Amino acid sequence: MVKVGDKVPHATLRGMGPEGPKPITTEELFAPGKKVVAFALPGAFTPTCSAKHVPGFVSEFDKIKAKGVDTIACISVNDAFVMGAWGKEQKAGDKVMMLGDGGAEFTNAMGLSMDLTKNGMGVRSQRYAMIVQDGVIKDLFVEKPGAFEVSAAENVLKHL
């Protein structure tokens, strides 16, 4: 598992653009000179993710941006189409970049995958949030299984 002080691992994520799925590498997302808050979760349209996790970052957008954050990104082991539809449903707009990690490339590189095959979901991401400056992880908040506390927007905001 990655830790504070590590560089964000290489992977290609996908977001929905006007013409369809658009690739973005972690080198682009977490580029030098950028401060990024990224949070990951088990799945789009799942209860805690939809009711609390994404809405928290949407509602705290102005406060987070005021702390010098360039981008807020939500990452999930879903495809870009699902993430795009979920972003619309969550009213993420230009506030939260909704990124799919369809093959769990990024999630596995981070060392933060979990196997939910027995629940019919396959390999998914653990719930976490991180603050990244110049491509380096400055803070990493990984939830205990089933919990939703440390990766919440309100907690991340306290550390910015």
Catalytic residues: 49
Phi–psi pair at 43, nearest 5 degrees: -175, 145
Q: Hey, what are 86's tokens? A: 């979920």
Q: Hey, what are 115's tokens? A: 């196997």
Rounded Cα–Cα distance for residues 56 and 54 (Å): 5
Rounded Cα–Cα distance for residues 67 and 157 (Å): 8
3-state SS assignment for residue 160 = coil
